Amino acid sequence: MTEKAETMDALDSRDNAPSVKKNGQTSLLDSGEDFEVLDEDDIDDDPPPLEDAGGGKGKKTDKSENKNADMDPEPSGQEDEWLDVLGNDQLKKKVLEAGQGRDSRPQKGQNVKINLKTYLMDGTLVAEQPDLSFTLGDGDVLQALDLTVQLMEMREKALIQTDAKYAYGARGSLEPEVSPNAELSLEVELLEATDAPDLELLPPPEKIALASRKRERGNVHYQRGDYAFAVNSYSIALQITESSSKVDITPEEENELMDVKVKCLNNMAASQLKLDHYDAALKSCVSALAHQPDNIKALFRMGKVLALQGEYTEAIQTLRKALKLEPSNKTIHAELSKLVKKHSEQRGAEQAMYKKMLGNPSSSSGTQKHRAKSSWGFSWKWLFGATAVAIGGVALSVVIAARN
């Protein structure tokens, strides 16, 4: 198998990872605790896959070179060759120093440690991170690293050139300082790869810390508008909080773990709303409220989801419950008044439509009543006249008989 083919295999294993979506506004997450409920723009669904590896124009390689690569499993003769990782010429990898063989490559889900230097394309060094540790494939680092480190051998040094979409995107970064839409050059050395810890045996404080780190990474994705990646990070954090434990855990640690779980569900609902995944967002809100029935943020987002689904009555009831819990919240006030007005307008439009469909039933019923009244009036007049004639006839007959 050529290295090109292994690249495609690696990409296939990434199909379940989410893709980047960079639209919509972000809410405040600077506190690292949870999304602000005061977000005016503030749903099941698997995140969409990564960029299609066959969507662009890749560099053509000589057939003889591919044949040689098949015969030689060691990449020692390929240090000067660029590997087009995605086939679109936007993410490339070149071996600087060969590693310990393909069998030493890390697997998705392992914890890896690398030395990383980040350069602008003009050679400016913007960041140096020795001994950077992360879980491969969890979205803990730039997508360019997640995609290429799994193709590296142990102790290999590689140069990676990436388009902005697999780095800091259209928003850029403040730390490190990277301008929007900047292409980057990454110098990477793979130091080690170890299996992830067994969650059942992980001490509760470490489990809480690990879940919190995954949630905070989701917050970073959310701030950048990468909502699908945010959902993925929150899902991983939820798996950690929901994992069983074979070690003792105190009630305080259980409560702390539950608090992280509810925050993940709330933040996931916000991300799913941005992706228009309303059913999934509603499910996340329901799950959060199952643990904390009076969670205001979950109630607020649930009200917004129900409103977007056209369930205005339920949405109004949910927002009223949230407002009762926090009467001073101006955002809930504004959302509730806007929703009540919209519901009233919709009901008025529906009533007008029904009247039009039935041909103005009020005037029709009035006409029918008038006709009925007229008909009854005519009947009574006829009956009185007939009775008077009959009585007159009887009286006349009596008079004639008396005379005779």
Q: Angle 68-5-190 (CA atoms, 0-180°, nearest 5)?
A: 90
Classify residue 54 by its DSSP letter: T
State which of 321, 339, 354 marks the end of a domain: 354
3-class secondary structure, 205:
helix
Residues facing residue 160 across a β-bridge: 93, 186
Q: What is the CATH number of the domain that holds 224?
A: 1.25.40.10
Q: Which residues of 317-333 are buried (b: 16+ CB within 10 A; e: fewer)?
A: ebbebbbeeeeebebbe
- Answer whether 207's CB lies under 8 Å from 5's CB: no
Report which of 273, 43, 231 is spatially closest to residue 138, judged by C-alpha positions: 231
Cα–Cα dist 395/68, whole Å: 134
Cα–Cα dist 377/369, whole Å: 12
Neighbours of 21 (CB within 10 A): 18
Q: Is residue 6 part of a domain?
A: no
| Distance in angstroms between the alpha carbons of the first and the last residue of the chain | 138
Cα–Cα dist 68/25, whole Å: 50
Q: What is the CATH number of the domain that holds 114?
A: 3.10.50.40
Q: Position 331: which residue type?
A: T
Which ranges of the chain have pLDDT less than 50? Answer: 1-33, 35-77, 364, 375-376, 378
Looking at the structure, tell me whether residues 173 and 311 fall in a common domain: no
Looking at the structure, tell me whether residues 285 and 168 fall in a common domain: no
Looking at the structure, tell me whether residues 210 and 345 fall in a common domain: yes
Residue 190: exposed, middle, or buried by beta-carbon count in 10 A (0-12, 13-18, 19+)?
buried
**Which pLDDT score, from 0 to 100, does residue 381 have?**
59
> Strands across the sheet with 125-135, in order?
82-84, 91-97, 157-162, 184-194, 111-120, 125-135
Q: Is residue 316 part of a domain?
A: yes
Q: What is the dihedral of CA 287, 291, 295, 299, to 10 degrees?
A: 30
Angle between helices 204-223 and 251-274 (to 10 degrees): 20
Reported as a single tens digit per residue, the pLDDT across 314-357 is 999 999 999 999 999 999 999 999 999 887 877 766 667 776 77
Looking at the structure, tell me whether residues 216 and 191 fall in a common domain: no
Report which of 233, 2, 213, 260 is spatially closest to residue 137, judged by C-alpha positions: 233
Q: For the chain, count helices (H), then strands (E).
A: 11, 6
Reported as a single tens digit per residue, the pLDDT across 302-316 is 999 999 999 999 999
Q: Is residue 104 part of a domain?
A: yes
Looking at the structure, tell me whether residues 217 and 343 fall in a common domain: yes
Cα–Cα dist 123/371, whole Å: 94
**Which pLDDT score, from 0 to 100, does residue 342 have?**
85
The number of folded domains in the chain is 2
Cα–Cα dist 111/194, whole Å: 5
The residue segments making up the domain with residue 88 are: 83-195
Looking at the structure, tell me whether residues 142 and 282 fall in a common domain: no
**Which pLDDT score, from 0 to 100, does residue 383 have?**
60
Q: Position 77: which residue type?
A: G
The overall longest dimension of the chain from CA atoms, in Å, is 150
Residue 266: exposed, middle, or buried by beta-carbon count in 10 A (0-12, 13-18, 19+)?
buried
Looking at the structure, tell me whether residues 188 and 231 fall in a common domain: no
- Answer whether 339's CB lies under 8 Å from 319's CB: yes
Residue 98: exposed, middle, or buried by beta-carbon count in 10 A (0-12, 13-18, 19+)?
middle
Looking at the structure, tell me whether residues 191 and 208 fall in a common domain: no
Q: Give the tokens for residue 134.
A: 């992360």
Classify residue 226 by its DSSP letter: B
**Alpha helix (H) residue ranges in 243-327:** 251-274, 278-291, 296-308, 312-325
Looking at the structure, tell me whether residues 322 and 184 fall in a common domain: no
Cα–Cα dist 167/11, whole Å: 17
Cα–Cα dist 10/150, whole Å: 8
Report which of 267, 331, 302 is spatially closest to residue 32, judged by C-alpha positions: 267
